[in-house]
Amino acid sequence: MMISNALGRLAVGLLLCVVCSGLAQPVHAADELEKELISASKAVLKHARENGYKNIGVLKFAVKNHHDPTGGHDSALGRRLADKLEMALLLTVDVSDPIGIAKNASDTAATIAGASHLASSQEAREKLFVKNYPMSWGSQDQPIDAFYSGSAVLLKDLSKIVVGFRVLDAATGSLEWVPNLRLEVKPGIDELMDAGQSFTTRGIFDSANIKLTNTERKEKAAEEATLTSLDVSDASDTQQTGSKHPLSPDNTDTPITFEVHYDNQPQKIRIEGGLAFVAEPEEHQKVMFVIRRKGSARPRLAVVVKVNGENTLRKQTLPDAKCGAWIFEPHMDVFGIKGYQMNQNEREPFRVLSDSESIEKEIDYGSHAGAITVSVFPELKGTPTETPKETPKAPSDDLLALLEDAEHPERKPSTLAALRSILDPNAKPTPKVNQFATRGLIGGGDKVTASVEKTKMQRDSVPLMSATLRYYNPSDLPE
């Protein structure tokens, strides 16, 4: 009990948070997805114009990961594909004769009871059109003529992500494939994290790899993540699989151990078929996560923990490498996370939703429901350099905006031209904090006073590890 109480104090007093990220990087082969989505956005706009659509929206993509049979309806990757396609449309649409583009259409769609583009029921699809949607510019909400979405398949050998695009027409209610539009990209480190793969990459930080250029480091990281993901997922021996999972205490390549506590009692993490599970909490139980340092080394680390796809710092839904992180200082051996830290002085304690609330919310959140993800990044000690022959051609502003994870501004501009100027990466807009309410099964309660310190840390863009832990099995996701 004394240990648990000590952890509670650490969670309040010693955690240091900061929004930190690696250095901005030039465009490489690892950024293939963003380049392909710029091309896809032009094809989508052409298709929309040919079909006479005046206003369109983008809904989250379905994702099939052969290594995760519990998912398949959507994931962080599915939302990321939708967000980036929407932003690519805004960056490429004709300013002189624009097609209207809804702002974050998935969030509005989630408020319509029974509406789903992923369901087989035409009635569920038609409900998506019953209300007007906020647009990316202008003051009026508008009816939507068509929604674009798609499906992404992560191949079993993790060599490719294959993306197809679909259109849902308001007039016909039909969900059809967009002709001749398909992408095949090699997944980078960010795509593997967003797809929910569990892996380690510690080998790329060995002394033998110090002289690698940034391009080589990113490629080597993706290779290492792929190999360890396959080791975790494909080992036939259950005991061997368990020892290779990043959340296993027997894995010597991970810098931390991660614990889930209910009412101050640690819960056993079981590993089956390469996936990690922990018991589902009961309503009114107090939830806390505990992170402990492993090994004798004491590096400075940045730890990103998400619940149901939302960061425990400010509920951000950005990729892990772009999210604010909890800083594990060298003098610390252990710390706890007791809720969503919304700002420097306020926290929403974790709250376990009731059975009825969970059932109501799980369809909205898809395979995010019941998922806890943990990513750990090292401090960037030096600046990787590119050799002259590897220095790529300067990317376009459109591509730079996608690589910088451009987001909608806080205040809606009156015209597309004004929005385009804000999205210009040279304008360096202030990143927007996600303000949407949590929709998970462990949610946030009423705010309490809980102060944390802020510190700065230049963290590496390559994680030491990433892992997914499931605490709840959604009961009735749409087919």
Q: pLDDT tens digits, residue range 50-80?
A: 999 999 999 989 888 866 655 544 467 888 8
Tokens of 13: 């007093």
460/445 same-domain check: yes
**Short-list 422, 380, 388, 428, CA closest to 404:** 428
Q: Which residue range(s) make up the domain with 173?
A: 29-188+398-427
8/91 same-domain check: no
110/204 same-domain check: no
Q: Is residue 250 part of a domain?
A: yes
Q: Could you give the number of structural domains in the chain?
A: 2
Q: pLDDT tens digits, residue range 345-389?
A: 999 999 887 655 555 545 444 445 678 999 999 998 766 555 444
Q: Please report, as a single letter, which amino acid is at residue 329.
A: E
Chain centroid to CA 229? 18
Q: Is residue 392 part of a domain?
A: no
376/306 same-domain check: yes
258/297 same-domain check: yes
Q: What is the pTM of this model?
A: 0.75
Q: Is residue 390 part of a domain?
A: no
Q: Is residue 475 part of a domain?
A: no
Q: Average the pLDDT over 151-160 and give the result.
A: 89
Answer for the pair 62, 78: CB distance below 8 angstroms, yes or no: yes
Q: Is residue 391 part of a domain?
A: no
Can you give the CATH number for the domain in which 42 is found? Answer: 3.40.50.10610
Q: Is residue 476 part of a domain?
A: no
**d(Cα 439, Cα 405) in Å, to the nearest integer?**
23
372/444 same-domain check: yes
75/183 same-domain check: yes
Q: pLDDT tens digits, residue range 264-283?
A: 999 999 988 788 899 888 88
8/95 same-domain check: no
Q: Is residue 113 part of a domain?
A: yes
319/280 same-domain check: yes
206/77 same-domain check: no
198/178 same-domain check: no
> Looking at the DSSP assignment, which residues form a beta bridge with residue 275?
272
**d(Cα 406, Cα 404) in Å, to the nearest integer?**
6
Handedness of CA 349, 350, 353, 354 (dihedral sign): negative
253/115 same-domain check: no
Q: Which residues contact 191 (CB under 8 A, 6 or more apart)?
A: 33, 77, 161, 185
Q: Is residue 134 part of a domain?
A: yes
